[in-house]
Amino acid sequence: MIPSDRGDSVTEQTSRAPETVVRRPRLRGAHEEAYLEVSDLKVQFPTADGAVYAVAGLSYSLPLRRTLAIVGESGSGKSVSSMAVLGLHDARTARISGSIKVGGKQVVGMSERDLRNYRGADAAMIFQDPQSSLHPYFTVGNQIIESYRAHTSASKRKAKERAIDMLGRVGIPNPRRRVDNYPHEFSGGMRQRAMIAMALVNDPKLLIADEPTTALDVTVQAQILDLIAEMQRDVGSAVVFITHDLGVVAEIADDILVMYAGNAVEYGPVDKILGQPQHPYTWGLLESIPALTGEPQPLHPIPGSPPSLLAVPSGCAFHPRCEFRSVVPDDLCVTLHPDLLPRTADQSRATRCHLRDPDRIFQAEILPRLP
């Protein structure tokens, strides 16, 4: 009844020495072509209480070999927007508008047949909880083989060889034997490795990782992050990394997109956004990270809770929770919805905020508070 977890995790750690991939954020070339281009994406769910805009006009772009981290609280629309990129929303329950271009293909409004060819081949997804995301009644090998054979004409034997090869590449020890195991015979970290093997079996150029380390042990998290980065180098894909862990973002991302109430509030290269954030919501996120060193400090959560998407506040959606609202004249935060614009001379980043001098406020008021 009880899967033998202990033996597995020991081999897992010894087989892959926890190497730390030192990864410097790649600077974006001026003419680097975007592989994923999302513009004015809206995802709307009709409910009994009225339409809910889970994503309200999101735009971003991502070239190959680059990693974008999408950060935000639950319900900010980060998962919903990424599911839309893979065309996973049920057309009967979700209304999607705007444009999602992946390698030149328009995903919004794609036919069921084209979607089938696109999903898993051009773009693949790693889900949050590998325990529930793998089918409990099929062997790990079978599930990888199914993905492979959906997009190639490989024979069963060839596909199985490919599955064994993939399991080896993601660091599963003894893949030839493990390929016939069921998911419950794998440890949590190995399951996520198998999930990654399954997602990458067709060398997709776009990989979406939806909180892939949230359900894992802290000790395994770093290994999985390394693995995703390593596989990204091998395949040369663009990676969208959904997370609410800013520590993870600093480690893996080139770009960062902070989402609030279905839209981007801050977007730009990771060193700039984390080094000199300009949006009060991003400040709140940074402040809410508990300090691991020094005197134990009380936690600093962002006051209030994310708005209900049925009743998004007027003006700036963040204004009820924003402590700098009074700095902006004329009650602008309550009356006018700000645009996502560069707030300073730096054109590579944009912020959705009415504050005139965010850099000064950050230096003067926020920085001293950070641990």
| Binding interface with other proteins (CB under 8 A) | 1, 86, 88, 112, 115-121, 124-125, 127, 129, 132-138, 146-147, 150-151, 182, 184, 195, 198
Residue (49 or 112) nearer to other proteins, CB: 112
The Cα–Cα gap between 134 and 371 comes to 39
Residue (116 or 337) nearer to other proteins, CB: 116
Residue (195 or 220) nearer to other proteins, CB: 195
Residue (142 or 276) nearer to other proteins, CB: 142
Q: Which of 15, 18, 20, 21 is nearest to 175 (CA)?
A: 15
Q: Which residues, 6 or more positions from 30, have their beta carbon under 8 angstroms from its beta carbon?
A: none
Q: How many CB atoms lie within 10 A of CB 159?
A: 21
Tokens, residue 290 = 């508990």
Rounded to a whole number of angstroms, the minimum distance from the CB of residue 109 to other proteins is: 17
Rounded to a whole number of angstroms, the minimum distance from the CB of residue 89 to other proteins is: 10
Residue (134 or 253) nearer to other proteins, CB: 134
Residue (95 or 116) nearer to other proteins, CB: 116
Residue (4 or 14) nearer to other proteins, CB: 4
Rounded to a whole number of angstroms, the minimum distance from the CB of residue 122 to other proteins is: 9
Rounded to a whole number of angstroms, the minimum distance from the CB of residue 77 to other proteins is: 17
Q: How many CB atoms lie within 10 A of CB 164?
A: 22
The Cα–Cα gap between 252 and 271 comes to 11
Residue (146 or 165) nearer to other proteins, CB: 146
Rounded to a whole number of angstroms, the minimum distance from the CB of residue 94 to other proteins is: 13
Rounded to a whole number of angstroms, the minimum distance from the CB of residue 251 to other proteins is: 25
Rounded to a whole number of angstroms, the minimum distance from the CB of residue 360 to other proteins is: 45
Rounded to a whole number of angstroms, the minimum distance from the CB of residue 353 to other proteins is: 35
